Structure 1
Amino acid sequence: MNQKLSNFVLYLMSVSAGLVVANLYYNQPLLGEIAKDFGVTESAVSHVALTTQLGYAFGLLFVVPLGDMVSNKKILQYDFLLMIISLVAAAMSNSLLLLITSSFFIGFTSAIPQLFVPMAAQLSDKEGQGRAIGIVMSGLLIGILGSRVISGLVGDQFGWRVMYYAAAFVMLALYVLLKLKLPKIHPSYDGGYGALMKSLWTYFKSEPVVRLAALRGALAFGGLSAFWTTLVFLMEDSFGYGSGVTGAFGLLGIVGALAAVLVGKMNNKISSYKIILYGSLLLILSWAIFLVSSNSILGLVLGVILVDLGIQALHITNQNIIFSNNPEARNRVNTIYMVGFFIGGAVGTTFGAIAWEQFKWMGVSVLGIFFSVALLGIHLMFNVKGKRSK
């Protein structure tokens, strides 16, 4: 029988989710330094961020569904080994190609925080599910945002390679702690891996709520990824700041991430339709502020706070919806949702880099507005389904 979820284990999963997912984002404030080190263009070095996100999407697709079939402890054992090797390989890279390849595997192995979110939902009672998801997600969001602060400072002081060595050491220590303290989950699925993967398509076809959540998540995260990929270039061009100041913007997002627990609790009191509506409007407002803030630090600060609030409201609500509707396959529906989410991120990174090269910050901001307006339009178009998705 599975253990009940204690506060210690819940917060351990939250901290672990943040530390692991941080591996995906250490590179973003460092892209300028990496480009100079290898003598490549801003567009070329953006492939480091792109392949990391693509690797994460592949990890979500091929690793996370195993949470419904294989013990979580066994998954962690092999995943952390490959993760640590990949981080060390990135630190030792002597070419952009090797760094890009290592980055793919860093992304691939850093998908495991998405095992913690369904686990928190599984071990919680129905009334506490939103709170548990919110707490784990707050750790994950703080990891995403805080990673940029840390890597920016480390990059300024010690160079970009030191950040990857440090991350490898942190992952080794974290694995030891998880091995000792994380409860062992015994999955209920008794089929083979092939059948498990085929069932992803079955859930995708038969669950319109899951498809809609994945599309909403992809559009929201696409805009956010475009922002973070190009912010370092804006800071250098318009203000003359380096990776340290760019990474410090993550501190602003942490304020919003701390509200994740509140958003989780709100899911028990306010309809999911309304939360997603308000979140979409926040995203549009934030991008409108970015559009007129290419020379305003204050505008960028306000925009970062609002965009992170909008993202977390959408993300936590999306996951609460799909977990409640599919309790027997939480890892698989989470896989479908998160693959869509990070494919959106990869698209946002790609088009964000193109928009920057062609039209600078105005192009990036218009791209973000397009993603956000499309999200709102889709939500309103599926208005009836949205109201029933709670």
Structure 2
Amino acid sequence: MVWLLAIATGLIVANLYYAQTLIGPISATTGLDPGAAGLIVTLTQVGYCLGLLFIVPLGDLLENRRLIVTALLLTALALLAASFTSSARLFLFASLCIGIGSVAAQIVVPIAAHLSQPATRGKTVGKVMSGLMMGIMLARPLASLVTDAFGWHAIFVLSAITMAALALLLRARLPQRQPQSGMHYFALLGSLWHLLKTTPVLRRRAAYQACMFGAFSMFWTCVSLELTGPYFHLSQTGVALFALVGVAGAIASPIAGHRADQGKSRSTTTIALMLGTLAFALPLLIHSSRLVDLGVLVLTSIILDMGVSANLVTGQRALFALPAEIRSRLNGLYIALFFMGGAIGSSLGGWMYAAHGWTGVLWAGLCFPVIALGLYATE
């Protein structure tokens, strides 16, 4: 069941990232200008945030399996719409809807916590989240490879078919889980603000991860533009291979979860935030030949992905130690808050790259984990 949940979350969350390395070809087809190209990623993340705030809390109210299947079928429809349009407005609207539907992944994660024993909850959530991080990281190279072979529309058609098939599989295999909250929907939404006010660990963990995910989104939104630019001059296949190496960072998720189960959350958080800082410092400090610079960027992608993965799982382990009846809302708030950081990072990244080039992106990206370290120092 853990493997099924890990694969499912990876496949679902990948929908948020297919467009990240395809900004160039999508913009050319839909007529988006370079300054607005970051909206392709930003609106998907905005949709995800909206879904996290208004749909994921339903996991504490409605039968979870039915909620997941419905969200997946709606995602499949949005993916089909994106694949068949050449209109910028329609594509951006479809991107928003893809983000909203993909919150099904965050209804799956609390199920994993619910099914696991308290002593191994961090390790189990870490395994599921490693599947999620693998989905994020594999989405980019897969999108680039499919685009090279069949055009950018094909990846959206392929994902729509996958989401429909996954909906049928999860309907057959997932256990039913009917929460006993006794609340109506608007009371449930109203409780989100109360939870945010009364749960300091939620506010802190969300702030740390918002900074880390902002840096992550900025890097991966802009690095494809740099890699295909005049200095590195890589093809989409080259970008795919580059992104594929970054998958190595997913190994940090189960390790961080296991360390959190052992009571080592503080040291794990320190390591994660330091890795985020190191990732952006390396390419700023090391300048040499084209090959060396490319190697530094590869190392940067691995280190950054490790830091983001480790910090994410450590935060979720802390939240899932709280009562089961509020886990879906806590998880929804946590992911929504740090995805807002991701949306800021991706939109700021597009502007920084257009105005100040790759060096400007690196300096802006470095600020995010440094701010997180500053916040963490006050804990």
Please say whether Structure 1 and Structure 2 have the same fold, judged by a TM-score greater than 0.5: yes
Q: Is the 8 A contact 1:293 1:300 kept in 2?
A: no
Cα drift, residue 253 of structure 1:
2.2
Q: Deviations over 1:287-321 (max 9, x none)?
A: 11132467411000111111011111110001111
Q: Using the alignment, how far apart are the partners of 1:249 and 1:62 within structure 2? A: 36
Indicate the residue corresponding to 2:19 in structure 1: 27
Indicate the residue corresponding to 2:132 in structure 1: 140
Q: In 2 relative to 1, CA 14–148 (structure 1 residues): closer, same or farther, beyond 3 Å?
A: same
AA at the equivalent of 1:233: L
Q: In 2 relative to 1, CA 128–66 (structure 1 residues): closer, same or farther, beyond 3 Å?
A: same
Corresponding residue SS for 1:324: coil
Query: For structure 1, which segment, 346-355 or 322-331, has the greater mean C-alpha deviation from structure 2 after superposition?
Result: 322-331
AA at the equivalent of 1:376: L
- Give the paired residue count: 374
Indicate the residue corresponding to 2:258 in structure 1: 265
How is 1:193-232 mapped onto 2 (pairs within 5 angstroms)? 193-232=185-224
Unmatched 5+ stretches in structure 2: none
Q: In 2 relative to 1, CA 123–259 (structure 1 residues): closer, same or farther, beyond 3 Å?
A: same
Indicate the residue corresponding to 1:343 in structure 2: 340
Corresponding residue SS for 1:325: coil
Cα drift, residue 243 of structure 1:
2.5
AA at the equivalent of 1:68: D
Please state if 1:359 is matched with 2:356.
yes
Indicate the residue corresponding to 1:251 in structure 2: 244
Q: Is the 8 A contact 2:17 2:140 kept in 1?
A: yes
Cα drift, residue 260 of structure 1:
1.6
Unmatched 5+ stretches in structure 1: 1-8, 383-390
Indicate the residue corresponding to 2:313 in structure 1: 316
Q: Using the alignment, how far apart are the partners of 1:101 and 1:290 within structure 2? A: 36
Q: Using the alignment, how far apart are the partners of 1:174 and 1:31 within structure 2? A: 27
Q: Is the 8 A contact 2:71 2:103 kept in 1?
A: no
Alignment root-mean-square deviation, CA = 1.3
Structure 2 counterpart of 1:153, from 132, 135, 145: 145
Corresponding residue SS for 1:127: helix
Please state if 1:284 is matched with 2:277.
yes
Q: Using the alignment, how far apart are the partners of 1:41 and 1:280 within structure 2? A: 34
Q: Using the alignment, how far apart are the partners of 1:336 and 1:40 within structure 2? A: 32
Q: Using the alignment, how far apart are the partners of 1:320 and 1:52 within structure 2? A: 26
Q: Using the alignment, how far apart are the partners of 1:182 and 1:356 within structure 2? A: 44
Please state if 1:305 is matched with 2:302.
yes
Query: For structure 1, which segment, 243-252 or 153-162, has the greater mean C-alpha deviation from structure 2 after superposition?
Result: 243-252
Q: Is the 8 A contact 1:59 1:109 kept in 2?
A: yes
Q: Is the 8 A contact 1:279 1:310 kept in 2?
A: yes
Cα drift, residue 134 of structure 1:
0.6
Indicate the residue corresponding to 1:369 in structure 2: 366
Q: Is the 8 A contact 1:56 1:110 kept in 2?
A: yes
Q: Using the alignment, how far apart are the partners of 1:86 and 1:144 within structure 2? A: 19
Q: Using the alignment, how far apart are the partners of 1:22 and 1:293 within structure 2? A: 32
Indicate the residue corresponding to 1:386 in structure 2: none
State the TM-score, normalizing by the size of structure 1: 0.93
Cα drift, residue 381 of structure 1:
1.3
Cα drift, residue 268 of structure 1:
1.9
Q: In 2 relative to 1, CA 352–293 (structure 1 residues): closer, same or farther, beyond 3 Å?
A: farther
AA at the equivalent of 1:116: V
Q: Deviations over 1:327-382 (max 9, x none)?
A: 33111111111111110000001111111111111111111110010000000112
AA at the equivalent of 2:349: G
Q: Deviations over 1:264-293 (max 9, x none)?
A: 111122421111111111110011113246
Q: Is the 8 A contact 1:29 1:244 kept in 2?
A: no
Q: Deviations over 1:217-270 (max 9, x none)?
A: 111000000001111110122211133222322322221203322221111224
Corresponding residue SS for 2:118: coil
Indicate the residue corresponding to 1:5 in structure 2: none
> Percent of aligned pairs with the same residue?
36
Q: Is the 8 A contact 1:148 1:248 kept in 2?
A: no
Q: Is the 8 A contact 1:116 1:136 kept in 2?
A: no
Q: Using the alignment, how far apart are the partners of 1:253 and 1:319 within structure 2? A: 22
Q: Using the alignment, how far apart are the partners of 1:324 and 1:67 within structure 2? A: 17
How is 1:9-24 mapped onto 2 (pairs within 5 angstroms)? 9-24=1-16
Q: Deviations over 1:81-117 (max 9, x none)?
A: 2111100000011211110000000000001111122
Cα drift, residue 212 of structure 1:
0.8
How is 1:19-168 mapped onto 2 (pairs within 5 angstroms)? 19-168=11-160
Q: Is the 8 A contact 1:210 1:337 kept in 2?
A: yes
